[in-house]
Structure 1
Amino acid sequence: MHDAAGHSEAAEDQRQLRSGSSPWRMLQHSLPRTPLLADLRCDVAIVGAGITGSFAAEALARQGLSVVVVDRLMPGRGSTAASTAMLQWEIDRSLTELTELYGLDKAADIYRRSYAATADLCDYIQALGISCLFAKRSSLYLGGGDTGLTQLAREHGLRRQVDLPGDLLDRGTLIERFMMDRPGALLSPGSAEADPLCLSLGLLRIALAQGAVLVEDEVVAYDWSSDSASIGLAGGRTVEARHLVLATGYEMPDFITTDLHRRSSSWCLATVPQQPSALWPERALIWESSHPYLYARTTDDGRIVVGGEDQATENVKEREQLMPDKIAEITSKMRNLWPYASYEIAHAWSAEFGETDDGLPLVGPVPGAARVLAAYGYGGNGITFSYMASRILAARIAGTRRPWFDDFALDRTAP
């Protein structure tokens, strides 16, 4: 039996993944949650009812499996509610960087899979009819810092070489088309935006309609010593399953050990709604090559959502103390990039997030824990990785194995 403690030195810090308020529609949704009056048995138990757990629950319930989803919080109220929901295929590590780590063949394969997964994700959301303010967008990757036009041209050349779409914009073209002054940019199709809370709850609602059960309780123990896996709950009950999926977001149980993972904090703001003329052309998803980088999008009601200033801290009090300065810095940088909008702030928040050294997710069997699978879609395109994780785990549970699954393994060699 293993307890459910995480890596954080302060357990209470771990329980508060975000601070402040995001603009997503918090109060418009409720889902039936079942208090356990007896122990349960099922095919798959999923720990975590955020976006990753919701993707997994829908995919596995659709396969006809009995699914139980457990979370101590209301669904989506953890780190999902703090997401900016930029549904991208581009990875935190550029194709150039990923090629330096793993070689062009593997790097290109990973990028192409991410591109295909984002396209599938967009089709999937639309096919399910989830009302989540989904909109297709291009992404605008801005040069800056050590990344000038030469580096952007190299990245663009690699992408073209492996059949990834996108255009290289020089400074003049960028100013003319987007009214933004940077050394250059890569403009790429195939991304999207959504309300992450609406998306997550919409997926979970569909899973429940397919027979999944949602349990509000805290997991306090894990056990995989028998021919099944089980979780012990704070309420005293046990859920036993043929397979256990960990979709715990940035609260990783301490029996998972990997050299690839680290946790940091990020800060975000959302402006008041504004007129369309105050928003940049095409309303592309914006992210910078500089570190720490800025990332920005718009919303359906005309807000600008912008975040960044990432810092390696997990301490809630420190994160909250840094909030005024971080929000001021983000506002200043965004105003410098796009001075044509109002930066009257309606929402400001901060959150803990996870990232990996190679920018790739952690998906697959947990070493040393039989029948336990992990789904950690970390990074700037975390929602795309969460979608990919649900497909990988559904395939594994169905008995399907693909060599490329190892690219995301928890025990892959750190670069």
Structure 2
Amino acid sequence: MLDPETTRHDDLRSGSGPWRPALQRPRGQPLARDTRCDVAIVGAGITGAFIAEHLTAMGLDVAVIDREREGFGSTAASTAMLQWEIDLPLRELAGLYGFARAAEAYRLSWRSVAGLRRLIEELALPCSFAPRQTVYLAAGEIGLRELQDEALQRRRAGLPGDVVDGTGLRGALGFDRPGAIISPGSAEADPVALCHGLLMTATRRGARLIRDEAVGFDGTNLAAAVCLASGHVVEAAHLVLATGYVMPAIVRDALHQLASSWAIATVPQPAQALWLNRALVWEASQDYSYFRTTPEGRIIFGGEDESFADPKRREGLDRDKTEALRAKLHALLPLACLDLDRAWSGAFGKTADGLPLIGHVPGHKRLLAAYGYGGNGITFSFLASRIIGMLIRGEERPWFEAFAIDRALIRK
């Protein structure tokens, strides 16, 4: 049996976001005896919820295991900007893997946002979902010329987006930057409500939610098994690890690292303080700021990332980081009221190439995992559910290599 690391949800985030749980939400129950299923999923956050919904739609018997309240771990720290644009620009990703592979990754991300939109509409999930444009702002060393080159690469890949210069940007949106790429096809949602809606759908199809802690698991034999703190065992044909930023040592990859991010949510704003169409806004720099609105007109503003995940160190910076975010918000939106409704921070996983780690855990044929989403958390969670569904059916696709856990970072 393999021992997972022991990290509580309080280590993953501090403070609280503006999200509200559904009026009816799923609640896990302890096991009374050992059990079996087709697929055991460790983690009842947004990734586990997408996987549970998809696998139950495939007709599989699913058990979802989590030691915490469903959706109240790292999912509750998400800002839920459902973007198809990836942290690493297309032109840089093409420099690592070649244009064809990089463009396919971007197109898969685009289709993932479209797919989760269809799913939310089909299931009528009450999660404040709204389609949004994105505004990719010039920042740091990335100016108008670099944005024009990025937009050209995207058009070559068949992806949409228009470049506006500083004059056009100020006139349309009020942002004082040299330029931006404005693109359709992204969205926003309430991540906790979305998680609960997906889990409710899965439980109505027969999925079991088990409130317990996984203290050991095995995926090397003819069947996988999860040992729980209660002493019971869940045996399954396949085991999926979807534990957010609590990555067991067996899944660690040289491309992956943990980091910390901070976010604030203002009080509801007057209409004149908000920008056109309430687009998702993020900066074209390595350590970027990002912001969106909520249905009530709050501004959610995040960033100030640091390359560590130690919870005590992160919480020690909460006050300073909150004030830094307020200052950046004021610089970009001088009419906005800076009074805060919420402030929080959390750990997140990212990779050196901006792509997630999804697929089989090397050396463990019954064990699959999904980690390292960076700024595309929920978008890549949806993609992970589809990849894992295909792998469980025994299907392989050439493009799975772009997300393989043991892939190598090789510059073409």
Given the two structures, how large is their TM-score scaled by the length of structure 1? 0.97
Q: For the residues of structure 2 that align with 1:160 and 1:64, how far apart are their CA atoms?
A: 39
Q: Which amino acid aligns with 1:79?
A: S
1:50-101 Cα offsets, whole Å, 9 max, x none, are 0000000000011110000000000011100000000110000011111111
Post-superposition offset of 1:4: 1.3
Contact 1:87-1:193 within 8 A present in 2 as well: yes
Q: For the residues of structure 1 that align with 2:188 and 2:9, how far apart are their CA atoms?
A: 28
State how 1:357-376 maps to structure 2 within 5 Å: 357-376=352-371
Q: Is 1:92 the equivalent of 2:92? A: no
Contact 1:377-1:385 within 8 A present in 2 as well: no
Q: Which amino acid aligns with 1:162?
A: A
Give the aligned partner of residue 19 of structure 1.
14
Q: Is 1:343 the equivalent of 2:321? A: no
Post-superposition offset of 1:225: 4.2
Give the aligned partner of residue 108 of structure 1.
103
| Structure-2 change in CA distance of 1:14 and 1:28 (3 Å) | closer
Secondary structure of 2:317's counterpart equals helix
Q: For the residues of structure 1 that align with 2:295 and 2:220, how far apart are their CA atoms?
A: 49
Q: Which amino acid aligns with 1:192?
A: A
Q: Which amino acid aligns with 1:188?
A: S
Q: Is 1:63 the equivalent of 2:88? A: no
Give the aligned partner of residue 264 of structure 1.
259
Give the aligned partner of residue 8 of structure 1.
none
Give the aligned partner of residue 3 of structure 1.
3
Q: Is 1:236 the equivalent of 2:216? A: no
Post-superposition offset of 1:276: 2.2
State how 1:12-411 maps to structure 2 within 5 Å: 16-26=11-21, 28-376=23-371, 378-411=373-406
1:192-238 Cα offsets, whole Å, 9 max, x none, are 00000000110000000010000000000012343101000001100
Q: Paired residues, what number?
A: 410
Post-superposition offset of 1:317: 1.1
Q: For the residues of structure 2 that align with 1:14 and 1:372, how far apart are their CA atoms?
A: 23
Identity of aligned residues (%): 52
Post-superposition offset of 1:340: 1.2
Query: Where does the alignment leave 5 or more consecutive residues of structure 1 unmatched?
Result: 6-10
Q: For the residues of structure 2 that align with 1:216 and 1:334, how far apart are their CA atoms?
A: 40
Query: Where does the alignment leave 5 or more consecutive residues of structure 2 unmatched?
Result: none
1:106-142 Cα offsets, whole Å, 9 max, x none, are 1111111111111111111111100000000000000
Secondary structure of 2:365's counterpart equals coil
* Stretch moving more, 103-112 or 137-146: 103-112
Post-superposition offset of 1:13: 6.8
1:285-327 Cα offsets, whole Å, 9 max, x none, are 0000123210000000010001000001211111111011111
1:380-415 Cα offsets, whole Å, 9 max, x none, are 111111100100110111121111111100000024
* Stretch moving more, 17-26 or 275-284: 275-284
Q: For the residues of structure 1 that align with 2:290 and 2:252, how far apart are their CA atoms?
A: 30
Secondary structure of 1:381's counterpart equals helix
Q: For the residues of structure 2 that align with 1:81 and 1:222, how far apart are their CA atoms?
A: 26
Q: For the residues of structure 2 that align with 1:402 and 1:163, how far apart are their CA atoms?
A: 21
Q: Which amino acid aligns with 2:4?
A: A
Q: For the residues of structure 2 that align with 1:133 and 1:355, how far apart are their CA atoms?
A: 26
Q: For the residues of structure 1 that align with 2:204 and 2:215, how far apart are their CA atoms?
A: 28
| Structure-2 change in CA distance of 1:27 and 1:324 (3 Å) | farther
Q: For the residues of structure 1 that align with 2:199 and 2:372, how far apart are their CA atoms?
A: 17
Q: For the residues of structure 2 that align with 1:228 and 1:78, how far apart are their CA atoms?
A: 28
Secondary structure of 2:33's counterpart equals coil
Q: Which amino acid aligns with 1:134?
A: F
Q: For the residues of structure 1 that align with 2:10 and 2:146, how far apart are their CA atoms?
A: 41
Q: Which amino acid aligns with 1:349?
A: W
1:338-390 Cα offsets, whole Å, 9 max, x none, are 11110101100000000000000100000112200011251111111110010
Post-superposition offset of 1:274: 1.8
* Stretch moving more, 376-385 or 363-372: 376-385
Secondary structure of 1:45's counterpart equals strand
Q: Which amino acid aligns with 1:373?
A: L
Contact 1:229-1:370 within 8 A present in 2 as well: no
Post-superposition offset of 1:277: 2.2
